[in-house]
Copies of this chain bind each other. A is one copy, B any other.
């Protein structure tokens, strides 16, 4: 988190640890400390209950403006942030590329500075260019949340994944977590690798050899050539979305081949631990990286991930934007 946006004295921070994040950015899991992660997950826990009330709304961020600035199509992430903001009573303003003056050739920075001039309290940015949120954050006083930047990071996804695992398993440290599929191009994988290793889990990667990231050794994780051999040991198996448009790019022969070797089906799950968790960041390609039976089966926590996404984003908006106390 960018230090220059910090506020509050050290003593205050010691007394009210949540204030540590106030005014800062969330650019990636890489920049978070373990205690940052714990604060976020603990706060999310307390917000999760709000979405189950008859009146799903707290006044925490009344009079705050949250801008969802999305340069890539997204249903779940944008909707999740919008719902999170509204359940905190904030005003949510959505901007997507199509309606943006970026079509008129303005730079990302100018557009963002313009938005900042309207006194928002937080900008949530999704962009196809890795590093776009970092660029913005350096130039802006207002907190920036990275909602996915190119193939770099998708930190709110990793936080909701960690939240889901911690809720189900009661801990994160010591767990064995597999991340399987197109690791090379996946920002979800990257953020989860950073996150789960930070909190002391053991991260195992697998996928086609063409989808192995070059820096895997430096990340403190292990690469495996076979998903099948990995399954029996794992507490958590996270299947990545295969981007169908990569087909024909030489990354894998055919979808059928991909599915056979790197897809998760009931047969492959037979040797799994009885309390294994199956995760997927969505959107799923049913029948490709995951079979419908597994996606909808008893080990799957895929929809709970989505539910927890709202809680985690409420927590982040609360912690970064700072509410009425």
A157 within 8 A of B: no
Across the interface, which residues of B come within 8 angstroms of A116, CB to CB?
303
The 5 sampled A-B contact pairs (Cβ below 8 Å) are A54-B63, A56-B65, A67-B79, A76-B111, A113-B303
A74 within 8 A of B: yes
Across the interface, which residues of B come within 8 angstroms of A91, CB to CB?
57, 83, 86-87
A110 within 8 A of B: yes
A170 to chain B, nearest CB (A): 22
Give which listed residue, B52, B57, B283, contacts A62 with CB less than 8 A: B57
Interface size class of A (residues with CB under 8 A): 35 or more
Copies of the chain in the assembly: 3
Across the interface, which residues of B come within 8 angstroms of A106, CB to CB?
282-284
A156 within 8 A of B: no
Interfacial residues of chain A within 285-322, with CB under 8 A of chain B in the complex: 285-286, 303-304, 306-307, 309-310
Across the interface, which residues of B come within 8 angstroms of A102, CB to CB?
75
Interfacial residues of chain A within 79-121, with CB under 8 A of chain B in the complex: 79-80, 82-83, 86-87, 91, 93, 95-96, 98-107, 110-111, 113-121
Interfacial residues of chain A within 227-246, with CB under 8 A of chain B in the complex: 241, 244
A55 within 8 A of B: yes
Closest-by-CB residue of B relative to A77 is B101
Give which listed residue, B83, B110, B114, B284, contacts A118 with CB less than 8 A: B83
